Amino acid sequence: MKSKRNTPKILLFRGSPRSNIEEVEKWNDKLPCDVLCVRYMQEIPAYWWAREYFLENDYDYFVIATDDIVVKPEHIRQLQSDLNERDFQVLAGMMNVDEIHWPDGYHNICFDLAIQDRKLRYYNWLMPKELPKEDIFRVKFTGFGLTAIRRDVMELLQFAGDGFYRGHGMEFGASLDLVFCWDCHDNGIPIYCDKRIKMQHLRTHGEHQVGKRNPRAFLYKGGEEIALGKPDNISPQRAYI
């Protein structure tokens, strides 16, 4: 008889330099999990601070949804069900690339990465007709669309934009989600996607407020907002080589 796994405890991280996208914000206190919000802070320091908060507390998975993705309770419940059934190292949902691709256009997942030259935005986005028949399948790249990262992976990897540490002479650099997928690839960590978790991506909405408002952090726990004060600008514990 198969033994039942304990339901993993997840922390959803929502870092936002904007925080004024109403369609996103109205769901955060209704989600069936703890939601860590960091507001008005530059992206990489916000991710470092959130990573430290996760590692200092009793969570099994660090889940990321960028500030322009509409995450609803049913998305969280499906993710929790997946993690309860299987011990994924990294599992993500899907979202449209931008507004013109919602709901039936290109998705933010692909089977290939430009590993050789680490090109920026060299994506082979998938159309709905190209998706596998299976609900859960392996990919090489997924943006931070409700991406669940197991604790041991969080202990191993850090968040960085390419060039921030590496200095590969890239013309533009690369986003955190792309570098995270490269790091998973380099460390033999498989990335999976569940196509049943399909979210709306409001890519161009909102106004950035970094430098205009003081950074703040708070936690939604059981629908209650708990203030965590001003997040510190911390440095990573190790640098990539």
- 235 part of a folded domain: no
Is the pLDDT at 170 greater than 50, yes or no? no
**Taking the complete model, does pTM exceed 0.85, yes or no?**
yes
pLDDT band of residue 195 (cuts 50, 70, 90) is very high
pLDDT score, position 238? 41
The residue-averaged pLDDT of 182-188 equals 89
Which of 19, 198, 201, 207 is closest to 99 using CA atoms? 201
**Geometric angle at alpha carbon 194, from 192 and 195, rounded to 5°:** 130
Task: Return the CATH number at 143.
Answer: 3.90.550.40
The tens digit of pLDDT for each residue in 104-128 reads 888 888 887 655 555 544 567 888 8
- 62 part of a folded domain: yes
Q: Quick one: DSSP state of residue 128?
A: G
Place of tokens 């999976």: 192
- The region of weakest confidence among 77-91, 155-169, 192-206, 220-234 is 155-169
- 138 part of a folded domain: yes
Torsions phi, psi for 129 (to 5 deg): -70, -15
Bridging pattern class, strands 10-16 and 34-39: parallel
- 144 part of a folded domain: yes
- 237 part of a folded domain: no
Residue 144's domain comprises 10-229
- 184 part of a folded domain: yes
70 bridge partner residues: 200
Split into its structural domains, the chain has a count of 1
Render 149-215 in DSSP notation, one character per residue: EEHHHHHH-----TTTSS----SS---HHHHHHHHHHHTT--EEEEEEEEEEE-TT-S---BTTB--
Helix, strand or coil, per DSSP, at residue 9: coil
The residue-averaged pLDDT of 54-58 equals 96
- 133 part of a folded domain: yes
Render 83-108 in DSSP notation, one character per residue: HHHS--SEEEEEEBSSGGGTTTS-BS
- 99 part of a folded domain: yes
